[in-house]
Amino acid sequence: MRDALNRGLIDFLKASPTPFHATASIVRRLEAAGYQRLDERDSWTTAPAGRYYVTRNDSSIIAIQLGKQSPLLGGLRIVGAHTDSPCLRVKPQPELQRHGFLQLGVEVYGGALLAPWFDRDLSLAGRVTFRRDGKVESQLIDFKLPIAIVPNLAIHLNRGANEGWPINPQNELPPILAQVAGDERVDFRAVLTEQLAREHDLNADVVLDYELSFYDTQDAAQIGLHGEFVAGARLDNLLSCFAGLQALLAADSDETCVLVCTDHEEVGSCSACGADGPMLEQTLQRLLPDHADYVRSIQRSLLISADNAHGVHPNYADKHDGNHGPKLNAGPVIKVNSNQRYATNSETAGFFRHLCMAEEVPVQSFVVRSDMGCGSTIGPITAGHLGVRTVDIGLPTFAMHSIRELCGSHDLAHLVKVLTAFYRSRDLP
């Protein structure tokens, strides 16, 4: 099971270079399992035990497996994660032609570790909006091939490179795509028009706009002397999206189960399709249109907010509280913060521990050092919007927000097992 899950994760990461592609990847797997699309612009007709999904902005998705009984009786079992990761986004007018090179201006999305982006083989993917035959359309594109690089400056010209130096995103991060002759001018939108024709056989009249991200073309891989680790891009947080999806597809529960994977967590979640927007609340209210019934169901429900945790790095162990240092391959981590940066409380943590004990899954705890700031997740945001009881958990990783992150190869199976048990659980606290 472990190796099959890790191979599935690696395939999922490769197919999901952007939140748009991640959502499309999830849709393909849901539809193969019999899930039906619900369009937010239409009226909905659903049936007990029905399987449905909703997307918004092509980058967020909610999958719902309705129970045989009403959520009024058993509540909702919700797993939440996010589809976005820190990256370099192409600017609207990006063309830079300097000293015979074509470069693209980029904006840093989220709290990225910038140094690892240098000297990597980069490709480009995302969503393009264009006009064709007088109509506005959108399409996902993925160049797939390595088409760009951000070369480092040689140490001979930067003698302090190994002593740490501030990276200027405006000046030092624009990737190089090509060499150009003297007066030659390259129109990036014309390049995108050619890509639409090559990838989708579409003859666009004009590219109107786009949301495109650079990504590392190196595939994720299971590594280590004994295959103990998985290294790859976007583990934060496609690792949790994949685990939640696998659990949902395996659960076949009598209860109502929900998987929500939203965009824009890395920039605060405040958007129409982010956790700090109305998407989940509006979706659930349409399934439970009576307000009193909706509130009663939410109060019988529980959310597991799944987002990666900081594992104890052997070179930087002093960055952790000595009693709360999660280890790779030692199971999922319950994340706790008294200042509500995580939404975990004693009851929700206790229930998650109970699930882990019943499934013989190891479980760990994380509390940030008292002299350091604490990150946050969609957990407190979703709990604040819905009023739903929440536990924040995640799998331990290294190099979070790097272009290539690292997790334990045993932990995915642990998380899928306990999330499947959660979806199947008959009684919530």
Task: Output the tens digit of pLDDT for each of the chain's 429 residues.
Answer: 788 999 999 999 999 999 999 999 999 999 999 999 999 999 999 999 999 999 999 999 999 999 988 887 889 999 999 999 999 999 999 999 999 999 999 999 999 999 999 999 999 999 999 999 999 999 999 999 999 999 999 999 999 889 888 999 999 999 999 999 878 889 999 999 999 999 999 999 999 999 999 999 999 999 999 999 999 999 999 999 999 999 999 998 889 999 999 999 999 999 999 999 999 999 999 999 999 999 999 999 999 999 999 999 999 999 999 999 999 999 999 999 999 999 999 999 999 999 999 999 999 999 999 999 999 999 999 999 999 999 999 999 999 999 999 999 999 999 999 999 999 998 898
Give the N- to C-terminal CA distance of the chain in Å, as an integer. Answer: 30
Would you tell me how many other CB atoms lie within 10 Å of the CB of residue 173?
21
Question: Across-strand partners of 324?
Answer: none
Tokens of 47: 């049936």
Closest CA to 232 of 21, 395, 9, 415: 9
Total count of residues recorded for the chain:
429
Rg over CA atoms, the chain? 22
Give SS3 for 178: strand
For the record, the structure tokens of 418 come out as 């306990």
Residues 314/344, Cβ–Cβ less than 8 Å:
no
Question: What is the pTM for the complete model shown?
Answer: 0.97
The dihedral built from the CA positions of residue 228, 354, 236 and 78, taken in this order, carries a sign that is positive
